[in-house]
Amino acid sequence: EIAQCLVGSEMCIRDRNRAMEDEFAGAISNGQFEIWYQPKYNPVDNKLVGAEALVRWRGGDGKLISPARFIPLFEKDGLIKTLDEYVFKSVCRQQAEWKSNGRQIIPVSINLSRATLYFESVAELYKCIANETGIDTKYVPIEITESAAIDNANIKVLADQFHNNGFSLLVDDFGSGYSLLNTVIDIPVNTVKIDKVFMDNCKTSERGMYFLHQIVAVVKGLGYRVVCEGVENLEQVEVLRKAGCEEAQGFWFA
């Protein structure tokens, strides 16, 4: 009976995944993938300094489909390349709209999956997209995860290509699993995003707070900007202010 339940569960997952793949093209053309913007603030003066674009899928029934369900699937089957381009184009068009309306635009970073990073000439492609919409690439920085940077043997060449095309690079989720400082020492990035686990540790121990201060100091000492994720309350903002962190994002600001 247990074996039958497991088989039934696997079939259910396969059917659900197949349904999402079948619905993907229509969801793209119908604009069901929404772009949500999570702001980044300077914790010292509380000024808005940037944002991160997050993709959400609103199904035909109006309910949101969790990214935890569709992102891993699309990374596996290759559809993520199309979704990444869709998000990037959407952000560029939004930036262009804000600009044409006379609003001051700020950098909005876009996440690229590890699968997209393996496609040839990806940096040149994204430069062309930005040019077509009239947006300077400095306003659409690229985020890559620490694990993706480590797993891609060609990451240094790729980072140079993005820089040569005017993009800033951010290493996301720093410390979430690898915690290797040579990730940022060896790769020419501009900004390091410290994973929320360090903010969580500040809630429970003095050691956690001390370690966060040291991480921020080391990263800044290497010449990078620092963004701390997972900021949920005013006390954590004060911690980052004392640590000298330059940007913060999380539920408190969002």
Q: Which amino acid is at 169?
A: L
Residue 11 has pLDDT above 90, yes or no: no
More confident residue, 154 or 216: 216
More confident residue, 154 or 123: 123
Q: Output the six-digit token pair for 129.
A: 């997209």
Q: Rounded mean pLDDT of 140-160?
A: 81
Q: Output the six-digit token pair for 156.
A: 């240094």
More confident residue, 55 or 179: 55
pLDDT of residue 110: 97
Q: Rounded mean pLDDT of 133-144?
A: 96
Please list the alpha-helical segments (H only) found in the chain: 2-29, 67-77, 80-100, 122-133, 146-151, 155-164, 182-186, 197-204, 206-221, 234-243
Residues 6+ apart with CB under 8 A from 231: 43, 199, 237, 240, 248, 249, 250, 251, 252, 253
Asked if 56 contacts 34 with a C-beta cutoff of 8 angstroms, the reply is: yes
Residue 155 has pLDDT above 60, yes or no: yes
Residue 54 has pLDDT above 90, yes or no: yes
d(CA 43, CA 240): 7
pLDDT of residue 12: 84
Residues 6+ apart with CB under 8 A from 118: 152
Q: Rounded mean pLDDT of 115-124?
A: 88
Q: Output the six-digit token pair for 237.
A: 């903002």
Percent of the chain with pLDDT over 70: 90
Question: Is the pTM of the predicted complex or chain greater than 0.85?
Answer: yes
